[in-house]
Amino acid sequence: MSRRCGGMEIRNGGNIMPTVYERALELHEKNKGKLSIVSKVAVKNKDDLSLAYSPGVAEPCRKIAANKEDVYKYTSKGNLVAVITDGTAVLGLGDIGPEAALPVMEGKCVLFKEFAGVDAIPICLDTKDPEEIIRTAKLLAPGLGGINLEDISAPRCIEIETRLKEELDIPVFHDDQHGTAIVVAAGLINAFKFLGKKFSEAKVVVNGAGAAGSSIAKLIHKLGVTNLLVLDRPGILRRSEKDSYDFSKRELAELTNPDDIKGDLSVAIKDADVFVGVSVGNILTTEMVKTMNKDAVIFAMANPTPEIMPEDALAGGARIVGTGRSDYPNQINNVLVFPGLFKGALEAKSKKITEEMKLAAANGLASLIKEEELNENYIIPDAFDPRVADAVAAAVKKVAKEQGICRE
């Protein structure tokens, strides 16, 4: 048993323990952040210096000047990702600015390295102008193997990613959108396998039409779901109202709601097989869950309070429940995807990350759990399963090569 008191956590016996926030603050202060630069080569004498720097370094420079692709052969570019943010949508904290976003970007870089051996550097930009962000990313690209966009508010993040994917020849990925979508897809692949359901016959409801909801809906559609409803705050997106939406929601309206249904979540959820929430806490009720189809699947990912607590979803008849939290089974955690996805793309020397590569990542992740191992509380691998990054990387690498989008 434990309870909170004045920012401290008091446990049995009256012992006062620091909260996770206090422990994290101490860790950051003690280490002055979480990153450092480590050299791959030793410089202990004049000979070492002449090889690592002048005059010897001139030779790889000449080789690269003669053939730009040799930059992958002679530098760290091929295993280096920039984590780029403007600090406008950081965790649940919102627009807190580039400086305050730096601890999160450092943390992302740590995860790249620890989970997949990919080097990453944080880039926090003091601008909210999409054109400036795009231009800056393009100027940095010659020294990078890939770009991970992070915590940039919607809908600008969609515009920025789309433009960079079109204008650069290195992988560009907005994890807040697609990382979540890939883990959701993997979870649904295993859930439907366990339940014996078919995507072509399923009704899926996605609550939240922002960047993550948009990507989730598109990837679920690629799984074969056609009876798909997406909701924004006013209600279900409708094709008949698409002219009143921004470009992102207009695209979703054209892809979903084939019967042009009107209404709120209580209308949308009736007879649904799946609810995916990327919205706000406590918006789905037990009574609503009772109106869903038998053996319903619920992924409630609002943090820290999900759209419905797992115990309430189960009380309403849901069969499988996942959240973004680590204290419940079936955690939807992006760390299951982005390290391995970039590892595979970089190893393949892919020029982009395609929808097919995302779907391959989902299938690769799902395949780690054997059919006989699947159960209600185990449809998504654990974040610390050592097989994850390599499985995702292998699946992504294979598809990239098949698509012919890799450097020679």
Question: Of 30, 68, 72, 108, which is the active-site residue?
Answer: 108
What is the pLDDT at residue 81?
98
**Alpha helix (H) residue ranges in 32-91:** 46-52, 58-66, 71-74
Active-site residue flag, 108: yes
Burial of 72 (0-12, 13-18, 19+ CB in 10 A): middle
Report the C-alpha gap between 134 and 126 in whole angstroms. Answer: 13
Selection from 109, 87, 105 nearest residue 96 by Cα: 87
Report the C-alpha gap between 151 and 97 in whole angstroms. Answer: 10
pLDDT block averages, 10 residues each, the chain of length 408: 45 69 95 95 97 97 97 98 96 92 97 98 98 98 98 92 97 95 97 97 95 93 96 92 84 91 96 96 96 98 92 97 93 96 98 96 97 96 96 98 94
Report the C-alpha gap between 305 and 323 in whole angstroms. Answer: 9
What is the pLDDT at residue 12?
52
What is the pLDDT at residue 151?
95
Active-site residue flag, 370: no
SS3 for 36? coil
Cβ contacts of residue 216 below 8 Å, gap of 6+?
180, 181, 184, 185, 206, 276, 278
> Could you give all domains of the chain from N- to C-terminal order, each with its CATH number?
66-170 (3.40.50.10380), 177-408 (3.40.50.720)
Provide the edge-to-edge strand list for the sheet that holds 16-18. Answer: 2-5, 8-11, 16-18
Q: Which two tokens stand for residue 373?
A: 């191992």
C-alpha dist (Å) from residue 117 to 111, 189, 225, 336: 9, 27, 35, 14
Report the C-alpha gap between 313 and 300 in whole angstroms. Answer: 9
Cβ contacts of residue 163 below 8 Å, gap of 6+?
130, 134
What is the pLDDT at residue 248?
82
Report the C-alpha gap between 123 and 69 in whole angstroms. Answer: 24
Asked whether the CA dihedral 243, 244, 249, 254 is positive or negative, the reply is negative
Pairing, β 227-232 against β 203-207: parallel
Q: Which two tokens stand for residue 173?
A: 């990925």
Burial of 347 (0-12, 13-18, 19+ CB in 10 A): middle
Selection from 257, 221, 225 nearest residue 239 by Cα: 257
Question: Of 30, 44, 46, 53, which is the active-site residue?
Answer: 53
Q: Which helix (H) or strand (E) holds 232?
A: strand 227-232
pTM: 0.91
What is the pLDDT at residue 11?
53
